[in-house]
Chain A
Amino acid sequence: MLTQLSCHFFNQTCPFCFDVFRFPKAPFRCGNLSCPGRTPDPELKSHWPMMAAGAQGKVLNPSASKRGQVVCDACQRPSKDRICPTCHVTLPSTFGQCPNAIIAVIGAKNSGKSHYIATLVEEIRNRVGPMMNVTLSPQDDFTIQRFARDFRDPLYNKRRALDVTASGVRDANVRLPMVFNLQFGGKDLFGRRKITRTITLVFFDTAGEDLNSEATMATVNRYIYRSSGIILLLDPRQIPHVRGLLPDPPDPGEVMIDTRDILSRTAKLIRNGRGMGPNRMIKTPLAVAFSKFDELESIVDGSLTVLTSRSAGQYDAAEAIAVSDEIESLLASWQQGGLVHELRSWFSTVAFFGVSSLGCKKNPDETLPRLDPRRVEDPFLWLLYRLGYVKAAR
């Protein structure tokens, strides 16, 4: 109730174009396909041309709304679909009724961002969710189709590695967010089941090459400075010291990308986007996750927490701190103290994690011998914890 009330008085952020607006001023769109008032929407076409094919429903003035709906003056049918005043994309149905959390997953080329998102969502939906009484469900048709087509089906059904992500410059679908609802279940005073909280989660998958230049980031990855939490994926095999330790180093084709450059651009993008001065630290929580951690088992101590234990039914803050300390010490041993120092000097809230999206090494033909994700939910739960959506186990 408080969230619904607050959305009338505080600015909301469009999860598509990231412009800020007051929710009551968001227009409606008539959803009747046979409405005679359907016309092309130039605003939608200029922002999202792939969504603007054909005529769109009539844009209705929000001042005529009653009880959250407006009657279309062309077809006399009520509509509840709100659109963003700027880009005219239909907003999620729960928009304005629950808090939004934009989660940006960034990282260098081949750092495993797409695999991480795919396994994170599936792990929450199938393993972590039932344990924590949490439900993650896609919000709209686009999310359902895209997640199924580009993430779940290849990885879980066909058991093969995901395709390379096309650049957001070339593929507008990449720029579109995947919107999920995260529902927290509980019980009331009488022991009846109820939904205690709902969060709209917005995930962005991005192509690594889109983080290679500041200009591209500013146009394709504007969502980063609007995000509530950032998951930075690092491929430890791209650290020169680690490459030297590994018995089976990665293909020479995978050129080492300096993650510190990406980090620098991200910090600059956030500072510019939010209008922050150079002396202020970025308060967005940053989860630095080392992907493909299963491939490091041979070169790290086997008793490390990050390798031995798995998440329980609740978020364990102490374990997260322990894992973070372990990774930080590993980085120091891999001569990456500078990276840690930069992270801590730019971001006020940083934690380190080790994850493995696939849990195994890919076959040469890109198929997977098995799929065993490890600790992929850790960075995500830590972000939710830092954002105040979940509580730590006592």
Chain B
Amino acid sequence: MNIEQMVYTSCKRGIGAGPGFQTQATSPGLTWEHRFELEQLQAYRYPRGLPTNPTPQDIRRYCPPNYQLTQFTDGHTAVTRSAYAGADYSGRRGNFIAHSLVLPPVSDIWPIDLSLWGEWRETVTDEPPQLNAIDPSAVRIASPSLDFASLASFIREKADRFERLAVMLDALLSSRVANRPVIIRDSVANLTGWLGCLTKLLPRNMSPCFTFASFVNSQLAGVDIQCTTPDSDLKISSEELDYRAFAFDLVDERFSNVASAKDSCGHILAGKLRDTPDWFHSFHHFSERFSFEPDSDRLQCLLTCFALADGGSSIPPQSCERIPDAIGFAGSALRQDEDGNSMISRLVERAVQIAKTAPAERLRVSEGLRKLATTASSPQFRSVAVHSSVRLIHDELLDGGANWRPLLSKLDDIAREMDFRHSELQSLLLRSDVLKQIAVAHQNAPEHMQHLLHFLAMRAERTNASSAGISQAFRDALASLIAATSHAKIVGPLLAVTAESGGQRAFCELCIELADGTSDASICDAVGMGVANALDHAFASNASEVRQSLIKQDQLGILLLELNYRSKNVNANFGGFLDCLSSLRKSLPRRRKAELVPVVVAAWRNASRDTRDGIATWLFSHSDIVAEIDSKVAGEMIGVMAAQIPLDRFDRQASALANTVQKLCKVARCDAPVQIPLRVFLENLCRGRTRSLTEVHSAWSALGPQVDPSTGSAVVAQSLFPLLAMTRVPKEHIGVLEWACSVGGQEGVGVEYRRVLKSKEFANISPDAAGAFVVATLAVGAPSSALERLLECANQELDSWLHSLSGKSYAELNRYVRSYQKELSKDKINEWSARRTRADCKRRSLLGRILRFVGLRVYLLLF
């Protein structure tokens, strides 16, 4: 396309309706729309400081020509040179001549270079000039001063120009978002340099491009870069500086605040210009493939794309962060032709290579591919996105596959965006050669293998979501996988994956398929492990249903394999073991119940102490198993079972358990554990079958037990009161306490003794036992031994115990104590008298009676 021309000025004759400002002439090809838009351009206003009769030097100083770049609504651009023209045809000043060149949309001419064009019309003629369209190649541009080398030397000329240019570029890139044009105030000689840098460092194909005016006398609307001179009427106020514009007053050194980081686009481009000006040739050549709106983010994306495409140089870290945006940007901004297709392939290939060496970047790259598929309208671009995503997933699986799920999610998004058929995606993803390669790489890494299987299962599920079982695609992929690796290593992950993604039915089917006719021990172990893991995790909420399903299908062997696996790891998941054991116990036919015995024994042998307690508890209700076990192991089991039976004589269940244990002992032909005769001893004692302490002593001696502290405490708790109630003399009382301390330990006896003393039953013991207690208590001196400390505690409880005695017991007690007057010291007798008197007064007082009455009622109510 040719360059069209137009001249606008104040003249006698032109294209307008009459004399005055009007379009004087146009080239024949100029459209009416372009002419209309060019006529709307702001008039050239000369500075008011221009002398009344200006010399040519004055005009050069005050009225530099304004080269203004405008962009039309249809994408064309125009460069207009407006210049002061002195007086018009009528002799009045203020005339100007505006000569416009309308450039084609795609042009290799930099607009700012046209400021050096030698054919601009500078004078107004009476007759309209003859204007013709110009061939772009014929536009003679003598631009030695505006090539990148000269611009670089302009920037290097002063130390601060680099920083100024970087900030100007950043300000320009954010000017449209901030609605603040860039205003530069400098000498006429420098303005061209600034304009050249600002316009030639940025890609040419940005649309809409940044418009500029090389000289304005007042602020213009809609022009991005406005230059002015010190002699112009445009004064940069503080409002302009802070709010309305990004102003760079290089004459008075006043600048707007612009956010410009050291790694911003402005700094990158300015740095390239300063250091390697030739870099811009390749950069602009590269950027010609793109068309985009000018802003900082997009330019950063373009720079990242350029870095990606320039495979020889390493990608800086900050560019890696922008890879997703850059790929998405490339998809939307690249021209859709063959060159664009090859470029997008090259960019994506480079990104995938980066992701291959840096797995952490894969998600970013996949996000970029998703953006590419979303933004690109070209089917070729989208196809690149799909194939590259598949490669990313395969690479991820090959490296372990921790992030394959988000990658697959991204791929699904891409496929959905493209209406990609599942079968096509399937054939790309489940390529058997790739899967074999991955499987071989991870055959010794179950977790990675599980990732691979998960991937296969999920892919299969998505392929045919309506089918309940495992789809054919999954089976095919699995076949290739099994062929690539040994069977046993894949069973566990396979079952886990099927359980998670295939559902209950598929899981059961696979279990049956795997276990059917297999005699290989390693496979059996793997199946057991797989089933156990699946039931613990995937089917945690409905494990019993799955077991019932297998039982209904007569697949008890699978459950036995599971039980075997669980028996080896019984400490890790005892609940699971018990569930499985119980299910099998219920379901196994009588003739096969014996198969459980070795499993239970194995579990017993592997079990820790706590686990054995659990097994023993379970065995109480399944005692028939014990009968079939070896007597040595059975003895251990019975011992643990007996230890669990409480000695509480009121616990009927404990009695039943004790009976069970006794029977088991007979069946297993082993000695009864110590807990059983202890129970008999306590039973006799508590039920009054043992009537004297002598009998008790002989019975205890016959037992000769070596009870552990916990059992001893239980024995003391059960036997202390009846033994104390049997005492007749203080010596017996003390003897009982000594025995209790030896059996149950001093601390436990102290607590128990205090409990007994406070109990209601102890208030009703026989007078002899009460007297023995009182005399033993009174006789104690300064506590030196544990026993004396016990009696000292009893001494403290004596007053309250006396208060709770009945009247009859009180009198008999008094007589008993008097009978021991000789054995007690005088002080003790006096002490007893004082206590008795005090207790008597208290007992006889109205308040005391009321309290005793109320206490009795409360006791009755509560118990």
Q: Would you call A365 and B48 a contact (CB within 8 A)? A: no
Task: Indicate if B489 sits at the interface (CB-CB under 8 A).
Answer: no
Give the distance to chain A from B727, nearest Cβ to Cβ, in Å. Answer: 92
Task: Indicate if A356 sits at the interface (CB-CB under 8 A).
Answer: no
Picked from A34, A153, A172, the residue with its CB within 8 Å of the CB of B42 is A172
Q: Would you call B88 and A53 a contact (CB within 8 A)? A: no
Task: Indicate if A209 sits at the interface (CB-CB under 8 A).
Answer: yes
Interface residues of A in 26-54 (CB under 8 A from B): 33-34, 38-40, 45, 49-54
Q: Would you call A170 and B42 a contact (CB within 8 A)? A: yes
Q: Would you call B12 and A255 a contact (CB within 8 A)? A: yes
Give the distance to chain A from B8, nearest Cβ to Cβ, in Å. Answer: 7
Q: A163-B94, A366-B93 are in contact. Are A257 and B179 (CB under 8 A)?
A: no
Give the chain B neighbours of A55 by CB distance below 8 A: 178-180, 243-244
> Considering only CB atoms, which chain A residue lies closest to B53 in the complex?
A365
Q: Would you call B181 and A54 a contact (CB within 8 A)? A: yes
Interface residues of B in 58-96 (CB under 8 A from A): 87-95
Q: Would you call B93 and A169 a contact (CB within 8 A)? A: no
Give the chain B neighbours of A40 by CB distance below 8 A: 179
> Considering only CB atoms, which chain B residue lies closest to A160 in the complex?
B52
Task: Indicate if B39 sits at the interface (CB-CB under 8 A).
Answer: yes
> Considering only CB atoms, which chain B residue lies closest to A55 in the complex?
B179
Q: How far is the CA of A212 from the CA of B88 in the complex (A)?
A: 18
Task: Indicate if A87 sits at the interface (CB-CB under 8 A).
Answer: no
Task: Indicate if B189 sits at the interface (CB-CB under 8 A).
Answer: no
Give the chain B neighbours of A34 by CB distance below 8 A: 243
Picked from B16, B45, B87, B220, the residue with its CB within 8 Å of the CB of A209 is B16
Q: How far is the CA of A204 from the CA of B47 in the complex (A)?
A: 23
Q: A110-B90, A254-B90 are in contact. Are A53 and B245 (CB under 8 A)?
A: yes
Give the distance to chain B from A365, nearest Cβ to Cβ, in Å. Answer: 6
Q: How far is the CA of A95 from the CA of B354 in the complex (A)?
A: 67
Flag A155-182 by CB within 8 Å of B: 1 or 0 each: 0001011111111011110000000000
Give the chain B neighbours of A212 by CB distance below 8 A: 16-18, 20
Give the chain A neighbours of B92 by CB distance below 8 A: 110, 161-164, 366
Task: Indicate if A76 sits at the interface (CB-CB under 8 A).
Answer: no
Interface residues of A in 125-145 (CB under 8 A from B): none
Give the distance to chain B from A213, nearest Cβ to Cβ, in Å. Answer: 4
> Considering only CB atoms, which chain B residue lies closest to A153 in the complex?
B48
Q: Would you call B10 and A164 a contact (CB within 8 A)? A: yes
> Considering only CB atoms, which chain A residue lies closest to B48 in the complex?
A149
Task: Indicate if A253 sits at the interface (CB-CB under 8 A).
Answer: yes
Q: Would you call A164 and B42 a contact (CB within 8 A)? A: no
Task: Indicate if B233 sits at the interface (CB-CB under 8 A).
Answer: yes
Picked from B22, B48, B219, B233, the residue with its CB within 8 Å of the CB of A53 is B219
Q: Would you call A253 and B90 a contact (CB within 8 A)? A: yes
Q: Would you call A166 and B18 a contact (CB within 8 A)? A: no
Give the chain A neighbours of B575 by CB distance below 8 A: none
Task: Indicate if B656 sits at the interface (CB-CB under 8 A).
Answer: no
Q: How far is the CA of A367 from the CA of B89 in the complex (A)?
A: 17
Task: Indicate if A248 sits at the interface (CB-CB under 8 A).
Answer: no
Q: A153-B48, A170-B8, A366-B87 are in contact. Are A255 and B19 (CB under 8 A)?
A: yes
Give the chain A neighbours of B338 by CB distance below 8 A: none
> Considering only CB atoms, which chain A residue lies closest to B39 in the complex?
A169
Give the distance to chain A from B289, nearest Cβ to Cβ, in Å. Answer: 32
Give the distance to chain B from A291, nearest Cβ to Cβ, in Å. Answer: 15
Task: Indicate if A251 sits at the interface (CB-CB under 8 A).
Answer: yes
Q: How far is the CA of A212 from the CA of B18 in the complex (A)?
A: 6
Q: Would you call B243 and A50 a contact (CB within 8 A)? A: no
Q: Would you call B221 and A170 a contact (CB within 8 A)? A: no
Task: Indicate if B757 sits at the interface (CB-CB under 8 A).
Answer: no
Give the distance to chain B from A140, nearest Cβ to Cβ, in Å. Answer: 16
Q: Would you call B18 and A257 a contact (CB within 8 A)? A: yes
Q: Would you call B42 and A109 a contact (CB within 8 A)? A: no
Give the chain A neighbours of B40 by CB distance below 8 A: 169-170
Interface residues of B in 28-57 (CB under 8 A from A): 39-43, 45, 48, 52-53
Task: Indicate if A96 sits at the interface (CB-CB under 8 A).
Answer: no
Q: A33-B239, A109-B18, A209-B16 are in contact. Are A164 and B43 (CB under 8 A)?
A: no
> Considering only CB atoms, which chain A residue lies closest to B88 in the complex?
A164
Picked from A50, A164, A166, A364, the residue with its CB within 8 Å of the CB of B220 is A50
Give the chain B neighbours of A120 by CB distance below 8 A: none
Task: Indicate if A208 sits at the interface (CB-CB under 8 A).
Answer: yes
> Considering only CB atoms, which chain A residue lies closest to B95 in the complex?
A164
Q: Would you call B93 and A255 a contact (CB within 8 A)? A: no
Flag B1-29 by CB within 8 Å of A: 1 or 0 each: 00000001010100011111110000000
Q: Would you call A52 and B16 a contact (CB within 8 A)? A: no
Give the distance to chain A from B226, nearest Cβ to Cβ, in Å. Answer: 9
Give the distance to chain B from A286, nearest Cβ to Cβ, in Å. Answer: 22
Task: Indicate if A270 sits at the interface (CB-CB under 8 A).
Answer: no
Q: How far is the CA of A366 from the CA of B92 in the complex (A)?
A: 7
Q: Would you call B20 and A109 a contact (CB within 8 A)? A: yes
Give the chain B neighbours of A171 by CB distance below 8 A: 42-43, 45
Flag A86-105 by CB within 8 Å of B: 1 or 0 each: 00000000000000000000
Q: Would you call B222 and A49 a contact (CB within 8 A)? A: yes
Q: Would you call A365 and B12 a contact (CB within 8 A)? A: no
Task: Indicate if A207 sits at the interface (CB-CB under 8 A).
Answer: yes
Give the chain A neighbours of B275 by CB distance below 8 A: none
Q: How far is the CA of A305 from the CA of B138 in the complex (A)?
A: 67
Give the chain B neighbours of A165 by CB distance below 8 A: 94
Task: Indicate if B417 sits at the interface (CB-CB under 8 A).
Answer: no
Picked from B18, B93, B222, the residue with its CB within 8 Å of the CB of A164 is B93
Picked from A153, A172, A207, A251, the residue with its CB within 8 Å of the CB of B21 is A207
Give the distance to chain B from A249, nearest Cβ to Cβ, in Å. Answer: 14
Give the chain B neighbours of A213 by CB distance below 8 A: 17
Give the chain B neighbours of A38 by CB distance below 8 A: 243
Give the chain A neighbours of B337 by CB distance below 8 A: none
Give the distance to chain A from B181, nearest Cβ to Cβ, in Å. Answer: 6
Task: Indicate if B242 sits at the interface (CB-CB under 8 A).
Answer: yes
Give the distance to chain A from B243, nearest Cβ to Cβ, in Å. Answer: 5
Q: Which of A38, A54, A172 has the most CB of B within 10 A?
A: A54
Q: Which of A160, A164, A207 has the most CB of B within 10 A?
A: A164
Give the distance to chain A from B71, nearest Cβ to Cβ, in Å. Answer: 15
Give the distance to chain B from A36, nearest Cβ to Cβ, in Å. Answer: 12
Flag A243-256 by CB within 8 Å of B: 1 or 0 each: 00000000101110
Q: How far is the CA of A212 from the CA of B15 in the complex (A)?
A: 12
Give the chain B neighbours of A166 by CB distance below 8 A: 21, 43, 94
Interface residues of B in 756-795 (CB under 8 A from A): none
Give the chain A neighbours of B233 by CB distance below 8 A: 149
Q: How far is the CA of A38 from the CA of B239 in the complex (A)?
A: 14
Give the distance to chain B from A175, nearest Cβ to Cβ, in Å. Answer: 12
Give the distance to chain B from A155, nearest Cβ to Cβ, in Å. Answer: 12
Give the distance to chain B from A102, nearest Cβ to Cβ, in Å. Answer: 24
Give the chain A neighbours of B180 by CB distance below 8 A: 54-55
Give the chain A neighbours of B41 by CB distance below 8 A: 170
Q: A153-B48, A166-B43, A209-B19 are in contact. Are A54 and B243 (CB under 8 A)?
A: yes
> Considering only CB atoms, which chain B residue lies closest to A254 in the complex?
B90
Give the chain B neighbours of A207 by CB distance below 8 A: 20-21
Q: How far is the CA of A169 from the CA of B42 in the complex (A)?
A: 9
Interface residues of A in 222-276 (CB under 8 A from B): 251, 253-255, 257
Q: Would you call A54 and B245 a contact (CB within 8 A)? A: yes
Give the chain B neighbours of A154 by CB distance below 8 A: 48
Q: Which of A149, A166, A172, A253 has the most CB of B within 10 A?
A: A166
Give the distance to chain B from A333, nearest Cβ to Cβ, in Å. Answer: 28
Given contacts A55-B179, A164-B20, A364-B91, 11 further A-B contacts (CB under 8 A): A34-B243, A50-B221, A53-B179, A54-B245, A110-B90, A158-B52, A166-B43, A251-B90, A253-B12, A365-B53, A366-B93
5 contacts between A and B (CB under 8 A): A55-B179, A163-B92, A169-B39, A253-B90, A255-B12
Please report B residues at the A interface, Cβ cutoff 8 Å.
8, 10, 12, 16-22, 39-43, 45, 48, 52-53, 87-95, 178-181, 219-222, 233, 239, 242-245
Q: Name the 9 nearest CB pairs between A and B, nearest first.
A: A163-B94, A209-B20, A49-B221, A54-B244, A212-B17, A164-B92, A212-B18, A166-B43, A171-B43
